[in-house]
Chain A
């Protein structure tokens, strides 16, 4: 019972339904096993043996074809002497890297065609393996990338994310790029091989090689029996069987002849019938190999002749020539790459210059946008007056200084623009760049000043808006009281003066001569005077009054001129009609300001509170039926 205490985890239902599932799964599994068996060389049945044999034969024939293609390619590029070495290298590399020779041969051919050097090709093949292991590219793509880079097409290098721009890569030689790639992907291939997948790749290579080896042997057998479709149809095709029988006989005859050449063959001659039957089972190729093994090494089978020595020397010479050619080609390619790099740099410089000119033109456009000729002319005219205002020194207001600075910067911008136009017209890039920067800076200054002006105005308005509003401005009231006191004081002085000598226009600064005073005529004197005398006096008084009025007009005109000058300093309009009126109104309004502030909001709150309280205590003010 104790075993009932169990926690089952991740169970599977295998009830009645499971029979069908198991059946399906078994079928699927059988399929997988067959595939696995084919690759791993597991022979599951006679049919599998035949199928594996076919696959092996196919693999071997393709392998032979690839070998011949590679040899032809090497021959065409002048590396025929290296065909054997290339095969050895490929064989070694596939066993070390897990890359099948089916991929290595085309890669070798491609790189050999590009570099013309076996040594360089082998280095690049090894590098391509590291690249493919350390990046997302497959081996063929890596080889293609390196081949393209070798001849100067370096666009594909960006896939490797080497950390260089395309322009930088274009300026580098292939050796530099190769060094960078080597440093970047060093050890990637070895690390990849240490993984489970890497080991499986090596196993796949071994399996494939086994397949090719078996297939090669089978090819010989098939050649011997002359079957078109291999072993499958052997039993079906009687004709093929006959041919195979004939081959068997040929092999026996061949074997007999060969055995006769073996020293002491007389010993075996007696048993040749029995041995021949046994050896007759092998194909002629295999029989030849066996005989070769039986004979052992033949040191003098290939006599050392002058021709052979010459062949070795010729191969060595061809090797040296090919390497020298490869070096020469490499140098030519490097030279071409340098020329391309220089051309690219020149193009880049031209583009950069053009970009600078465009930038300057853009700045000029911006300057023209903000530049207004009329405004400049007006401001230039005002500048002369501002010089006079500057003479005021400390007494000049901030607004005046700001306006003056604005005008100066605008004029500077105009000067910059003219200079920049000249520089662009002269194609002087350096000057244009410098002037464009200066123009931009001046524009920024102008913008800052304008913003500052706006800010000053805004701040003033905001501050005014935040000033506490009182029902009666106490300051204004105080000022009004002071004015009244002043008026009273002046009135008292006037009264005192009325008792003394009246003030003359000269004393008031009106320009009327001092002492020019006509005492008024009393009623008593007028009653006694004649009408003509009174009329004459009236005319004289009128003329005098007119003269006084003229003086006052002159004084007013002078004041107005002064006011206009003052308004011009402030940047206000010189319209005397409205502006002066508004100024006067504002001036008079600034004397005493009495504002009535809406205080009804408090009253509304009081009423609302009262209504709410009434509602709260049940004393609704609404009439019956109200909604």
Chain B
């Protein structure tokens, strides 16, 4: 849960409009603080030969596929996907606007970041939970034969299950990822609220956890300083 600052969005707007120099200075100060976290996070991205070899091999004829294949890992892309933003975001569904963000944009980087945080041993193997027995016609009455088949629900029911032929595929994949980087929960211990793994990861969340809130404090301080300076500026100008 990020720190809530009242009036910060308005301050940013006012700075941009009436004191562009101060606005840029504020952004630079915020960026300096965030850059330390992203630099560390990029350092956690494994090289291509550290992950399973099949994850890095490009699929031939992928452009012809009608579905989106599983994203291939590329260390350079994963590092490039770790960025920061100092401009306010759009409000989320709860009405909060983030004044600064650290992002992990690449798909493969996101998989490396989060794989195993919900199912540390990989997704469970699919097993049919129920069978639907259908009997047809007069034969049933006679007991000649019985037809058993499974009726899949609309939309499928294999989501969240291991669809690989290898029953240990998920486990092996996660084990390999854990060998190059452990999952770290960036949620401060003792924080009020329901425990969650949503802030657990191997890249930006790990770097954020290791930063121990220094970047957060620096961003808030930069905003407060700019607010003070802007206030002085307007007072003097008035």
Interface residues of A (CB under 8 A from B): 1-16, 18, 21-22, 25-26, 29, 32-33, 35-36, 38-40, 197, 200, 204
Given contacts A10-B223, A12-B7, A12-B9, is CB(A5)–CB(B204) below 8 Å? yes
CA distance A39 to B236 in the complex (A): 10
* Alpha-carbon separation in the docked complex, A35 to B98 (Å): 30
Contact status B110-A2, CB under 8 Å: yes
A14 touches B95 (CB 8 A): yes
Given pairs A5-B114, A12-B88, 15 additional interface contacts (CB within 8 A):
A2-B106, A6-B102, A7-B37, A7-B199, A7-B205, A10-B5, A10-B99, A10-B220, A11-B2, A13-B96, A14-B91, A15-B96, A25-B7, A33-B18, A197-B236
Is B14 a contact partner of A32 (Cβ separation < 8 A)? yes
Q: Contacts A2-B104, A5-B201, A200-B233 given: A11-B4 contact, CB under 8 Å?
A: yes
Can you list 18 pairs linking A and B with CB atoms under 8 Å apart? A2-B107, A5-B103, A5-B104, A6-B103, A7-B102, A9-B2, A9-B215, A10-B5, A10-B219, A11-B2, A12-B4, A12-B97, A13-B4, A14-B91, A15-B94, A29-B13, A35-B234, A204-B237
Residues in B with CB closer than 8 Å to A29 are 10, 13-14
**Distance in angstroms between the alpha carbons of A9 and B233 in the assembled complex:** 26
In order of increasing CB-CB distance, the 5 nearest A-B pairs are A15-B95, A35-B238, A8-B98, A5-B104, A9-B100
Decide if A12 touches B238 in the complex (CB within 8 Å).
Answer: no
A7–B9 alpha-carbon span in the complex (Å): 18
B10 in contact with A22 (CB, 8 Å): yes
Contact B95 A2 (CB under 8 A): no
Which residues of B115-173 have CB atoms within 8 Å of chain A's CB atoms?
Answer: none
B65 interface contact, C-beta 8 A: no
Q: How far is the CA of A4 from the CA of B205 in the complex (A)?
A: 12
Do the beta carbons of B97 and A11 come within 8 Å of each other?
A: yes
B197-238: contact bitstring with A at CB < 8 Å (1 yes, 0 no)? 001010011001000000110011001000000000110111
Among A1, A5, A25, max chain B CB count under 10 A is at: A5
Q: Which chain B residues border A33 with CB–CB below 8 Å?
A: 18
How close is B44's CB to chain A, nearest CB, in angstroms? 13
Query: Contacts A5-B201, A5-B204 hold; do A10 and B95 have CB atoms under 8 A apart?
Result: no
Query: Would you call B237 and A8 a contact (CB within 8 A)?
Result: no
Contact between A9 and B101, CB atoms less than 8 A apart:
yes
Interface centre among B10, B102, B201, B237 (most CB of A within 10 A): B237
Residue of A nearest to B234 (CB): A32
Cβ-neighbour of A3 out of B10, B96, B105 (below 8 A): B105
A9 interface neighbour in B109, B216, B236, Cβ under 8 Å: B216
Query: Closest A-chain residue to B34, C-beta based?
Result: A9
Point out the residues of chain A lying under 8 angstroms from B97, CB to CB: 11-14
Do A2 and B81 touch (CB < 8 A)? yes
Given contacts A7-B208, A10-B220, A11-B96, contact A21 B107 (CB under 8 A): no
- Which residue of chain B lies nearest to A25 when distances are taken between CB atoms in the complex? B10
Are B237 and A36 touching (Cβ within 8 A)?
yes
Is the pair B89, A8 in contact by a Cβ cutoff of 8 Å? yes
Question: Which residues from A are CB-within-8-Å of B89?
Answer: 8
B3 interface residue, CB < 8 Å from A? yes
Residues of chain A with a CB closer than 8 A to B204's CB:
5, 7
Q: Output the least CB separation between A432 and chain B (Å).
A: 63
A5 to B10, CA, bound (A): 26
Complex Cα distance A29/B95, Å? 22
Q: Which residues of B contact A2 (CB under 8 A)?
A: 81, 104-107, 109-110
B6 contacts the other chain (Cβ, under 8 Å)? yes
B223 to chain A, nearest CB (A): 6
User: With A and B bound together, what is the CA distance between A12 and B186 in angstroms?
Assistant: 21
Chain A residue with Cβ nearest B186: A7
Residue numbers in A under 8 Å from B4 (CB-CB): 10-13
CB neighbours (8 Å) of B216 from chain A are 9-10
B119 to chain A, nearest CB (A): 17
Across-interface contacts of B9 in A (CB, < 8 A): 12, 14
B40 on the A face (CB < 8 A): no
Residue ID in chain B nearest A33 by CB atoms: B18
Minimum Cβ distance to chain B for residue A9 (Å): 4
Residues of B within 8 A of A39 (CB): 237-238
Q: How far is the CA of A7 from the CA of B204 in the complex (A)?
A: 8
Known A8-B89, A8-B96, A14-B91; judge A3-B103 contact (CB<8 A).
yes
> Which residues in A have their C-beta under 8 angstroms from that of B236?
197, 200, 204
Distance in angstroms between the alpha carbons of A5 and B7 in the assembled complex:
26
Chain B residues whose C-beta falls within 8 Å of the C-beta of A197 in the assembled complex: 236
A21 touching B219 in the complex, CB below 8 Å, given contacts A6-B103, A7-B204, A11-B98: no
Name the residue of chain A whose CB is nearest to the CB of B10: A25
Closest to B99 in A: A10
Q: How far is the CA of A622 from the CA of B100 in the complex (A)?
A: 81
- Docked Cα-Cα span, A608 to B89, in Å, equals 83
Given A5-B103, A7-B102; A13-B95 close (CB under 8 Å): yes
Q: Residue of B at shortest CB range from A39?
A: B237
Instruction: List, in ascending order, chain B residues with CB within 8 A of A6's CB.
Output: 98, 101-104
Report B37-58 CB contacts with A as 1/0, cut-off 8 Å: 1000000000000000000000
- Contacts A13-B95, A32-B14 given; indicate if A8 touches B6 (C-beta within 8 A): no
Let me know if A9 and B234 touch, CB within 8 A: no
Alpha-carbon separation in the docked complex, A11 to B57 (Å): 40
Contacts of A32 in B (CB 8 A): 14, 18, 234, 238
Contact partner of A18 (CB less than 8 A), chosen from B5, B95, B101, B234, is B95
Most buried by B among A12, A15, A16: A12
Contacts of B220 in A (CB 8 A): 10
Q: Residue on A with the closest CB to B9?
A: A12
CB <8 Å contact, B102 and A36: no
Q: A residues within 8 A CB of B186?
A: 7
Q: How far is the CB of A308 from chain B (nearest CB, A)?
A: 47
In the bound complex, residues from chain B placing their C-beta under 8 Å from that of A16 are: 95
Query: Does A12 contact B103, Cβ atoms closer than 8 Å?
Result: no
Considering the complex, give the chain A residue whose CB is closest to the CB of B103. Answer: A6
A13-B113 Cα distance, complex, nearest whole Å: 28
Q: How far is the CB of B2 from chain A (nearest CB, A)?
A: 4
Question: Within the assembled complex, what's the spacing in Å between the Cα atoms of A110 and B100?
Answer: 55
Q: Would B234 and A36 count as touching, CB distance under 8 A? A: yes
Q: Chain B's nearest CB lies how many Å from the CB of A28? A: 8
Q: Which residues of A contact B37 (CB under 8 A)?
A: 7
B110 and A36: CB pair below 8 A? no
Instruction: Please name the residue on chain B nearest to A4 by beta carbon.
Output: B110
Q: Are B110 and A12 in contact (CB under 8 A)?
A: no
The distance in angstroms between the C-alpha atoms of A32 and B235, with both chains bound, is 9
> For A10, what are the chain B residues with a Cβ–Cβ distance below 8 Å?
2-5, 8, 98-100, 216, 219-220, 223
Which residues on B sit within 8 Å (CB–CB) of A13? 4, 6, 95-97
Within 8 Å by CB of A12, from B6, B215, B219, lies: B6
Contact with A along B82-95 (1 / 0, CB 8 A): 00000011010011
Question: Whole-angstrom distance between the alpha carbons of A364 and B35 in the complex?
Answer: 78
Contact present for A12 and B237 (CB under 8 Å): no
| Residue in A7, A14, A33 with the greatest tally of chain B CB atoms within 10 Å | A7
Expressed in whole angstroms, the minimum distance between the Cβ of A18 and any Cβ of chain B is: 7
| Closest Cβ–Cβ distance, residue B83 to chain A (whole Å) | 10
Across-interface contacts of B234 in A (CB, < 8 A): 32, 35-36
User: What A residues does B34 contact at CB under 8 A?
Assistant: 9
Most chain A beta carbons < 10 A, residue from B95, B99, B107:
B95
Task: Report the Cα distance A204→B237, complex, angstroms.
Answer: 8
A194 shortest CB reach to chain B, Å: 15
Instruction: State A34–B18 Cα separation when bound (angstroms).
Output: 11
CB neighbours of B113 from chain A (8 A): 5
